Amino acid sequence: MPAGGAGTLPVEPRQYSPLRLTAPSNPSSANAHQALPLGRAAALAAALSAARSPVLALAAALPIVFLHIDYQPAFVVDVGPSVTVTLADLAILAVAAVAAVVAVRTRLRPLRAGLPIWIAAAAFLLFGVVRSGTGTHLVSSLKFSEYAVLALAVPLLVRGRAELRLLLWVVTGWAAIASTVGLAQFFGAGMAGGWGAGTRQPSFLGQLDFAALSGLAISIGLAGLALGTAAVGGRRLVALATTAGALGLVLSASVAGLAGFAAATAAIAVVALRHRRLLARPRAVALGAVAVALVVAGTLALRGGDLVQFTGFLGLSEPTASTSKDVQTYGQRTVLVWIGWQLFLDHKAVGAGWNASGDPASFEPYVPAAKQRFPAAAPLSFPSREHPWGVQNAYVQALADLGAIGLGLLAALLGAGLWVAARAALRGTAVLGGSLALDWLLVTMGVWAALGLVAGVPTDAALWLALGLAAAAQRLEGAHDH
């Protein structure tokens, strides 16, 4: 059932549920037994590819990390809490093994340009681990940190333009498959938990992760249109990335994703103007403008009802009967952000602890006041032991869980990535890599405004890939294709 419309549940379980630390309630023995051989096969394939083309390990891992946990084989390891190890975990482990071999061989030289990013990342992740305590929150923090391997892998494994194009093709191809599935769901195909004909769809990722992957793809297309198709990898890649990304953004219908996409569009326009590319490419600019307009119009068409309901929730228009009876996406997000802010006010310096904002002991004291503050909100909008929704906003969650120090460290991480990417793109020393990294970061930052700090989801992969590309941009510009 789609989240955010009238009469619907407020949270899509497959999208926003916290990190699963135990096996599903009725795990099939097939999944538990499949994961080990599949993981071994992935590790073997990665090891075999490392000798000749290390980037293949990263390329093979991308479709796996951009796949919802429900569709991955998994097995359970009992290490105090019971931890579900997924195929994505094994894929990242394989990438880490290959990257370690390259790191030793190159003496870490490819990582030097990203030093500000590595320092900021280490500080933020270490602080999260320290503030996680023990048990499930510690596992969640470590799981979040695990995905940082992808950032280190990009500068270590992507050695030239040809290898970068391979990754861009993988991202684009997987986004095209995701958009095809989403389109089938939109027309009523009962696959991968589709939400019914004519509504926004999750594809095989979940709405927000679908928006993040689609945002990466359309950024590739817009970079090609603005900077030149040859620089990105040819007209076919640019056309497919633009089409698949635009379609996916519309079908996911994430307003947070749309905001990130808008910021990315503005960034690529600034870079192109800085290097006088746009004025020389009027036809490409027109095509890009059409794609942007279609994304905006399509997203607003699918979310118009939710936006109207939100104006009623805020008292800006006459509320309908469903405003206070049925959960509304933006009304509920306002409630959850308010609770997160109250939690921060009581734990200003270091927060309540990593992911503690989702614990009943943390949010229950604020629910009565929230009900008084938002009397028009539906009862199910408020978190409870049965539905611990979480804050669903990474920046407010950082304040609630990690306090002002944690938010400062997160801002330093994102700021370091933006600075390294923008410097490369605007100075002209690495226009393509810097522009893509800048756009991917902005897309992810937009999606995070509605997702929160959830460990082990595809948006995490998007974040670390963007940071890794920022660190690799300078090296890629001067590298020879292999």
SS3 452: coil
SS3 158: coil
pLDDT at 159: 86
In the DSSP assignment, the letter for residue 430 is S
Tokens of 71: 């569709």
Tokens of 320: 């309908």
pLDDT at 479: 52
Report yes or no on whether pTM surpasses 0.85: yes
pLDDT at 387: 87
Helix (H) or strand (E) holding 421: helix 394-427
Matching residue, tokens 């993988």: 170
CA dihedral 44, 49, 51, 55 (to 10 degrees): -130
CB atoms near residue 480 (< 10 Å): 8
Task: Confirm if 339 and 363 have CB atoms less than 8 A apart.
Answer: yes
Give the integer Cα–Cα distance in Å for 450 and 254.
Answer: 9
The one-letter code for the residue type at 318 is E
What's the chain's length in residues? 482
Smallest Cα–Cα separation from 304: which of 329, 322, 321, 325? 329
Smallest Cα–Cα separation from 213: which of 240, 182, 183, 248? 248
Radius of gyration from C-alpha coordinates of the chain? 22
Give the integer Cα–Cα distance in Å for 473 and 216.
Answer: 16
pLDDT at 266: 93
Helix (H) or strand (E) holding 74: strand 74-78
Give the integer Cα–Cα distance in Å for 315 and 309.
Answer: 10
Kindly give the confidence (pLDDT) of every residue in the chain, 482 residues in length, as a single tens digit, with 9 standing for 90 and above.
333 333 333 344 333 333 443 333 333 333 333 444 444 444 444 444 555 688 999 999 999 999 999 899 988 887 677 788 899 999 999 999 999 999 999 999 999 999 999 999 999 999 999 999 888 889 899 999 999 999 999 999 998 888 999 999 999 999 999 999 999 999 988 887 878 888 889 999 999 999 999 999 999 999 998 888 888 888 899 999 999 999 999 999 999 999 999 999 999 999 988 887 765 667 877 888 898 999 999 988 887 766 656 555 555 556 555 544 445 677 788 899 999 999 999 999 999 999 999 999 999 999 999 999 888 788 888 888 888 888 999 999 999 999 999 999 999 999 999 999 999 998 877 888 999 999 999 999 999 999 989 999 999 999 999 999 999 998 877 554 44
Give the integer Cα–Cα distance in Å for 451 and 209.
Answer: 9
Give the integer Cα–Cα distance in Å for 285 and 227.
Answer: 10
Smallest Cα–Cα separation from 290: which of 229, 222, 234, 223? 222
pLDDT at 164: 93
Indicate the pairing of strand 82-86 with strand 74-78.
antiparallel
The one-letter code for the residue type at 252 is S
Phi and psi for 395 in degrees, rounded to 5? -75, -40
- Looking from the CA of 236 toward its CB, the CA atoms found within 13 Å total 3
CA dihedral 175, 179, 181, 184 (to 10 degrees): -170
Smallest Cα–Cα separation from 362: which of 344, 380, 386? 344
- Structural domain boundaries in the chain: 111-309+392-478
- Looking from the CA of 106 toward its CB, the CA atoms found within 13 Å total 18
Give the integer Cα–Cα distance in Å for 344 and 189.
Answer: 43
